[in-house]
Amino acid sequence: MYSQVLFCAALAGTASALSLPPLIPSIPGVTEPLASNAPPLPILQVPTPPLDSPRHDINTSIKPKKIGYFWTGAGDNQHKDFLATYSLDDDTFGELIYITDVPSSGNSPHHLGPTLDGKTLVGGGLLSLLKTQDTAYYFDTSDPYAPKFVKSNRALLSSITDEIRAKPDGGFFITYMGSAVGSSPGRLVETDADFNIIHEWPEDVDSTLNILGEQFSPHGLSVDWGKKLILTSDFVVPATILKPASALGIQRANTLRLWELDSRKITSTITIPDGQGIQDVKFIPGNKESAALATAVGPGQVWIIYPFRKNQDGTQGTAELLYDLGPRARDNLAIYSDITDDGKFAYFTLTLGNHVAALDISDLNNVKRLDDPEEDQGIVGPHYIKVSPDKKNLLVTDYFVQTGDIGVVNTPADFKAQWIDILEDGSLSFNRSIDFASEFTNRGGAKPHSAVIFDLTDPKDPKFY
Ligand SMILES: *[C@@H]1O[C@H](CO)[C@@H](O)[C@H](O)[C@H]1NC(C)=O
Ligand SMILES: *[C@@H]1O[C@H](CO)[C@@H](O)[C@H](O)[C@H]1NC(C)=O
């Protein structure tokens, strides 16, 4: 009798230790079709440990005012992913100051973002789920010249990290474009100031029905803290860029979700007809109507979202075509953007078009194109883009995604970071770049996906962007 009780207790213990929460909350009548329509899952990679970074010369003697942090994968996918810290000052431009390794490899380092106080950076791993590695990597930048890796974590319901926005309380909002297995729906992840994941939005019933009812693949993310709005834009179902699911074709979305900031509830779904992947969305700084620009990568167009205007059917949020970027922008797979903080100029990277487009948007009724759409800018595969805090330069990284044999997205790239001069009228002059392929030959080259800029020129008003 005594031993039987013990045995039962032991069994109960094992059972509860093995019990995992369901990946998608079960809602009768809603989630059953999801299970039968689920795409075939990508093939998991052997979780080989990363190889240590080879020895590399760095220049620890300089302390530049402008610093560029690049979240980078090793070219061979076998050495550790790393954060590369470079000088962006004029006199020491392109000097490598520091390399910070993380304990992952082949994770496809994706976007990078700073906290408001500049003490922490977070970088996402796009393909973490393939080797079941963590999805978000945190760096301590209290010493801006020697970032330290602090910790990493992963979410329960979602994966495939994309856009990052710092919260005033010290944490982050991060779009996770896919579910835990890379299908739809993804989630809007929220962390606390210690960078623990505290929510995977949405969590209320109506909004959950919204994301289960229509593809939810949030990539773009913009927050209007004053008007208390969030916009996320739906790009592609991530599993469908990977084999074997890609056999069915890449599943692109035409939608954005408008959220109420305080409740983190989805207010409405905004559609860009035939947008075929809305990669990015950004509120225009200072716009009285809280208008935002969204990029539709199929037609190669910039659309303007008015979150407070209403459609004929009474739903909140309208979308109108603002500017067609022309033939070079069509079917680009990726068009990412940034807008100057005075709301005057907007810049767009056409990844497959090998081109950076510039628009003067100071008069939204008379948008002017500032680049020559026909010009060969001498760059390959531009993607991530940031206006420097002093608005004198654009930082563009020439690498998007290369899944290799395991997927269908392998965009050409020259693996450079372009430091492009912004002229008085907002137009661009291509000047300097950092060549990651030649700097990191000791690990098969390097793939810098994204960057953060610190500008410490004014010690009383440092900028972290
Ligand atoms: C570090 O950078 C400075 C400024 O560019 C240069 O003078 C110096 O030679 C560099 N040191 C090393 C070890 O590369
Ligand atoms: C590149 O930038 C440097 C530093 O601002 C400047 O001195 C130089 O004239 C620029 N070169 C070109 C070709 O624009």
CA distance 326 to 349: 13
457 Cβ inside 6 Å of ligand 2: no
On average, the pLDDT of the chain sits at 91
Confidence label for 407 from pLDDT (cuts 50, 70 and 90) = confident
- For ligand 2, atom 11: residue with the closest CA: 431
- 91-100, 127-136, 452-461, range with the lowest pLDDT: 127-136
Burial class (CB in 10 A: 0-12, 13-18, 19+), 417: buried
What is the radius of gyration, based on Cα positions, of the chain? 22
In the prediction, which pLDDT does 39 show? Answer: 57
**Beta bridge partners of residue 410, listed in sequence order:** 402
Q: Which atom of ligand 1 lies closest to the CA of 91? A: 5
59 Cβ inside 6 Å of ligand 1: yes
- For ligand 1, atom 13: residue with the closest CA: 59
Average pLDDT, integer, range 177-192: 94
By percentage, how much of the chain surpasses pLDDT 70?
A: 90
Q: Which residue has the higher pLDDT, 129 or 166?
A: 166
Would you list the DSSP string of 301-369? EEEEEEEEEE-TTS-EEEEEEEEE--GGGTT-S-EEEEE-TTS-EEEEEETTTTEEEEEE-SSTTS-EE
60 Cβ inside 6 Å of ligand 1: no
Average pLDDT, integer, range 193-200: 97
Burial class (CB in 10 A: 0-12, 13-18, 19+), 55: exposed
Average pLDDT, integer, range 242-246: 81
Fold entry, domain 2-464: Methylamine Dehydrogenase; Chain H (2.130.10)
CA 282 to ligand 1 center in whole angstroms: 39
Go through the chain and tell me how many residues it has. 465
Write out the two tokens for 360: 């003067």
Average pLDDT, integer, range 252-268: 98
